[in-house]
Each structure stands twice: as structure tokens, then as C-alpha cells.
Amino acid sequence: MKVLVTGAAGFIGSNLVMRLLESEPDIEVVGLDNLNDYYDVSLKYWRLGRISSPRWRFVKGDIADKSLVDNLFYEEHFDVVVNLAAQAGVRYSITNPDAYIQSNLIGFYNILEACRHHPVQHLVYASSSSVYGSNVKVPYSTDDKVDNPVSLYAATKKSNELLAHAYGKLYDIPSTGLRFFTVYGPAGRPDMAYFGFTDKLLKGETIKIFNYGNCMRDFTYVDDIVEGVQRVIHKAPKKRKGDDGLPVPPYAVYNIGNSSPENLLDFVQILQEELVRAGVLPADYDFEAHKELVPMQPGDVPVTYADTAPLERDFGFKPHTPLRVGLRQFAEWYKEFYGV
């Protein structure tokens, strides 16, 4: 099997590539990433540097480049495509909307068109818990209506699901969208709260805790996300015809989350303890002097909470890594990577 992983230098993408190459000897992987400077590029190169296999090839390029994507599909004859390339982040979408339109809409359209003209067995793509917007019912179920996004980022991710459904109906392209819930872990994205908090505390700066700490997040460890993606890759939605003679869209969407939301203040407390334990910060660090409770930011939501029953039912898997275990792994990695 030959698999294309877009966003291969990213947090989830690089971990997925390593997992596939290490655990599936019959898989070849081609990675695509534009290595943009949304955050520290050296971290992306470090992730790529950990991948070593004769069954691995990396291509530097952008999914928004239609001819590059078409040529890659023409040359490689992919069996499965895992589209993880996207402009991520809610707050950045307020100030830099163009990046989201280019990558998350035009880029995703290019992937769909390539899958149409060079048929694949399965397209797996990253959606996001942000599609639930201001829904008040929890836990979030994939059966819920998601018509009220509160950020451009969320709107682009919902658009991906709609486009995949339409292409499934028109061209019988099997696709599975995965709504990820607050992914964290070693070598993660520096714009994520746990990473940014660590950077600021180390510099003696103040960390801002939004909504006065009254936020709940379904923090999901990266290894759990990767295992979920790997299982989904091998089980595409079945193709079948409807009464109209046209394909019933071979289309599915799942949540991948820890389904155990944590209060933001508790999360910060555990992070502090693990940073001290790892030696990133001294035992006598005055955390209270470096915390500020502030209002909610535009585009944010007060709670994320995944209903993962369908994932369990169809794949026999449920994310399970406790927050303390995951943050301990992050703190130890941070100390080593930055030589603290």
C-alpha cells in the first residue's frame, strides 16, 4: 500500500508517518509539507529528521499548488491519502484569514480533485472539534447539527466535510473525516496553550488563562490520535448505489478525543507540577505571580467534549492516555530539546 500524508512535518503528520513505517512493513509513505513559518521551522525539520526508512520519501510543496498535487498523484498512484495539511489555530484565523482560505479550502479542493482523477481507496482528512462551535449539548456527537461555527478556522473545517460528502456522492470517493480534540504531546505546536505557557513561564512572563479559567478542554494525547488515524486508514466506508442509481456517499465522520474534559485551571496545575518534576522550572517557582485570568477570546468556546462511542463501536478503540502522563512526556521532551 502506498500512502500520501500531507502535513508530514506537522505534529500529528510526523508521528503518523513514523507509526506507519515502524508497524506496517508493507506500507510506503510519501510525505508532503510546505514547511511554512507559522511557527519555528526548526521544529518541523527536527520531526522530519526522526523519520528514516527506505519506504519513505519527502516532497516539499503546498497542497494549494494544483499542478504539484496533480503531478504527485499521477506519478505515485496512491492507495490512501491522509490529508493533515492545514492552517491550524483559531486565533490566527482572526488576523490572517488568507492562509486559511488557501490551505484549508483551495488546498483541500485540490486534494479532492486529485482523488477524483486518480482514484484512491480511501481519503482520510483532519477535521476539528471546533466545528461544534457554540453547541451547548455535551458530549459533542457527530449526529449533532454543526451549523454555527464561531471562527473562520471552524468554518473551513466544516467546509471540508461538506466538500468530501459532495465528492463522495458525485464521484464515489470513500472518505472519513476525523474531528480531533485539543491534541498535545512532545514536539507539539508552539501555539498550543501548554507549549506557550511553558515558554512564557521559563522567561518569567505572565500566562493568560482565558474565560477566567472556566474552560473545559478534551485534551487528547498525540499517540492516541495517531492510533485512531492508523485504524481508520484500513477501513474505508463501503461503496453502494442508492435508489437513484447514483452512489450513496461512502462518507463517515468520527470524533477522536479523550472524552474526559479537564478544567483549564486543573490543567495548568498539572503542567506546573510536571515542569518542576522534569527540572524545566525550579521547585520554588512562584506560579501565582505569573498567572492572569482574562476574558474569553473571539472564536474560542468554553467547552470541548467528545462522544467517541462510534469510534469505539467501529474500530474497537478509545483514546485513553491520562493528562498527567501526556504532560510528563511533554515536559521531559521540552527539557531535552531546548537544553533547559
Catalytic residues: 153
CA-CA distance, 103 to 211, in Å (whole number)? 30
Nearest to 331 by CA among 277, 252, 250: 277
The x, y and z cell numbers of residue 276, run together, are 518542576
DSSP classification of residue 184: E
Give the helix/strand (H/E) hosting 296: none
How do the residues of the chain divide into helix, strand and coil, expressed in percent and rounded to 5? 45, 20, 40
**For residue 52, how many other CB atoms are within 10 A of its CB?**
9
**Helix axes of 152-171 and 108-117: crossing angle, nearest 10 degrees:** 10
Taking only Cα atoms into account, the Rg of the chain, rounded to an integer number of angstroms, comes to 20
The C-alpha cell 527539557 sits at 335
**For residue 136, how many other CB atoms are within 10 A of its CB?**
8
The x, y and z cell numbers of residue 229, run together, are 488515524
Q: Give, in order, the Cα–Cα distances in Å from 29 to each of 113, 203, 322.
A: 20, 39, 30
Contact 309, 132 (CB under 8 A): no
The C-alpha cell 501548554 sits at 194
